[in-house]
Structure 1
Amino acid sequence: MARRKVGGTPVELTELGFGASTIGNLYRVTPAADAAAAVDQAWEAGLRYFDTAPHYGLGLSERRLGAALRGRPRDEYVVSSKVGRLLVPNEEPRGVDGEGFVVRDDLRRQWDFSRDGVLRSIEDTLQRTGLDRLDVVYLHDPDEHWRQAADEAMPALAELRDQGVIGAIGAGMNQSAMLARFLRETAADVVMLAGRYTLLDQSALDDVLPAAAELGKSVVAVGVFNSGLLSLDQPTAGMMYDYREAPPALVTRALAVAEVCAAHGTTLPTAAVAFPYSHPTIINVTLGMRTAEEVRRNVELHHQHIPEGLWDDLRARGLIRSDVPAANGPGRSARCL
């Protein structure tokens, strides 16, 4: 699988990445054997970029990912994790985590973007994963913590990067405007953009994508199915969009996009995975993968040919913005124009 370099750093990501939130029991239990099999299948398929975070299952995702990668050549793969949420003892457990993960709540999350918090979080992640280093570290959802994240957390990460302890640094969020600020105003090399450059939402064209292009920095796209609405050939009422039930108007629009995809001989999910590469700053799409079967499906979607003219047709019909770039980034143009 092709790799692309992160900004001006030595880190290279495979074009498709393994999102490990689901193996942290996101929304439902994932058996340990299924989680291990998913990582094994991803490795067999050539994926070498794996993303996790302390937030995912109160550390379960990090532990499972580390165990599944143990014994594999360390220089062959890239792991990213995140800082900003320390895991601390929960003095008032209720039995199950209340933030979307089906795990015991013996621990709780504590926001902390201080220098000490960053260092402690990285050390805790290394202990949970059993890894000797992290290749990429993102600030995780610093929406309400800009000042501390920009003034304390990012300089701490930059110092570790400059010392060679971390390969690349950045921030990951569900909004694009603040990510643009991180690229323009801090030492960030890369941002993880969730759901803001998809077939249904191209708002990142207004801020973070131009910033990345201007500064020679990189973007990793996640949430490309917008929580599910773009994941099936034929969207239906009741599907999720950005973590809640999709409004009828968006379901109608997704159906219209699906019809255009079908007319071009492809499917909505295939187009959803390929679309982010329409912008040259997006070097990777990372998808959540819970089982070996999900890995196989996602890899197949990634390798599918996108018919010539699809994006042009969607633009002409007003289903994607007119300023979506006409050609895909390096390494993808041959099959995704």
Structure 2
Amino acid sequence: MTVPELGRLGFGAAGIGNLYKAMDDDVAAATIAAGWDVGLRYFDTAPHYGLGLSERRTGAFLSTKPRDEFVLSTKVGRILESVDNPAGARDTQGFDVPANLVRHWDPSEAGIRRSIEDSLERTGLDRIDIAYLHDPDVYDLDAGIREALPALERLRAEGLVTAIGVGANSADALQACVLGAELDVIMLAGRYSLLEQPAAAGLLPLCLERGVRVVNVGVYNSGLLARPVVPDNANYNYAPAPAPILAKAQALAACCNEFGVELPAAALQFARSHPAVCSVVVGASNAGQITETAARMAADIPPELWTALVARGLLPEGALHG
């Protein structure tokens, strides 16, 4: 199983698909350009992100770069279908875009092939390097494993994609997929972070055993770990953080501060520390954010910080790697 070299940090393109708020084309272009300028060469998008807007903006930028100098991943499973929208309704799944398209779950081989063809058309690029089945547990995990994953295996055998995988928020769902197919890579969202590590017990060791690479995303837990100081109104899993979760995040931030480390830098570098993880993918809503993220990934962190986090019960024993 071959996964292209992704680099420690990759660019997540949900933000430039108008996640939560609209973004001008020039701001989107400047944001992804800033990622390129700091050395990022792995770009992840999906039809879901802005009903295709993210794919179009990502492709428009990457089409100006030599094709062999970057890696592009997108997702399959959600087909976009045109609908009439005379009232100008907006998307209801987190993206500030017109609801001129609807997402339709289709795990069939025909649906997977159509999804790849549609993504190629939207990006304007000649190939997709990595294709992930997107959130099968949200729809029908059994059908995803039974239909979509064998279809992806055939696309890989035909050379239509280089590598295949699954992206999900559930460590259990991803583990079932790793056991159910010959995957190259998975995209793990929010389940191996400085705050919590449910993937550490079963999924990540299984990936190491099977040679499946892990792209770690959602490492700030919906923004909870994204700032040096955790506010009392912070969110966790896209909702107000429960008191125990908030208290732990604030304790993590306080410990980091004692060692002169920003919480987001520790969160990024911890997320990359597991030997199964090959890359951490982070989004941005402006150029400054992605530049700051790259600096945090490169920041010096004293080993004593990690030891202190374990000693205070903020990280479990055995959580330190290397």
TM-score by length of 1: 0.92
The answer as to whether partners of 2:252 and 2:263 remain within 8 angstroms in 1 is yes
> 5 Å matches for 1:1-337?
8-91=1-84, 95-143=89-137, 144-324=139-319, 326-328=320-322
Structure 1 window deviating more from structure 2 (36-45 vs 89-98): it is 89-98
Q: 2:317 & 2:113 partners in 1: Cα distance?
A: 44
CA RMSD of aligned residues (A): 1.2
1:132-167 CA distances to partner (integer Å, 9 max, x unpaired)? 000000000000312221121111111111222211
Deviation of 1:327 (Å) = 2.2
Q: 1:274 & 1:93 partners in 2: Cα distance?
A: 47
The answer as to whether partners of 1:93 and 1:106 remain within 8 angstroms in 2 is no
The answer as to whether partners of 1:183 and 1:189 remain within 8 angstroms in 2 is no
Structure 1 window deviating more from structure 2 (257-266 vs 123-132): it is 257-266
Q: 1:238 & 1:292 partners in 2: Cα distance?
A: 26
Q: 1:26 & 1:79 partners in 2: Cα distance?
A: 19
Structure 1 window deviating more from structure 2 (36-45 vs 118-127): it is 36-45
Partner of 1:331: none
Q: Which runs of 5+ in 2 are unaligned?
A: none
Deviation of 1:44 (Å) = 1.2
Q: 1:203 & 1:71 partners in 2: Cα distance?
A: 40
The percent of aligned pairs where both chains have the same amino acid is: 47
1:27-62 CA distances to partner (integer Å, 9 max, x unpaired)? 001111011011111111110000000000000000
Q: How many residues align?
A: 320
Query: Which secondary structure state, in structure 1, belongs to the residue aligned with residue 128 of structure 2?
Result: coil
Query: Which secondary structure state, in structure 2, belongs to the residue aligned with residue 12 of structure 1?
Result: coil
TM-score by length of 2: 0.97
The answer as to whether partners of 1:171 and 1:191 remain within 8 angstroms in 2 is yes
Q: 1:92 & 1:292 partners in 2: Cα distance?
A: 33
Q: 2:175 & 2:142 partners in 1: Cα distance?
A: 15
Q: 1:278 & 1:167 partners in 2: Cα distance?
A: 25
Structure 1 segments, 4+ long, off by >6 Å, are none
Deviation of 1:311 (Å) = 1.7
Query: Which secondary structure state, in structure 2, belongs to the residue aligned with residue 170 of structure 1?
Result: strand
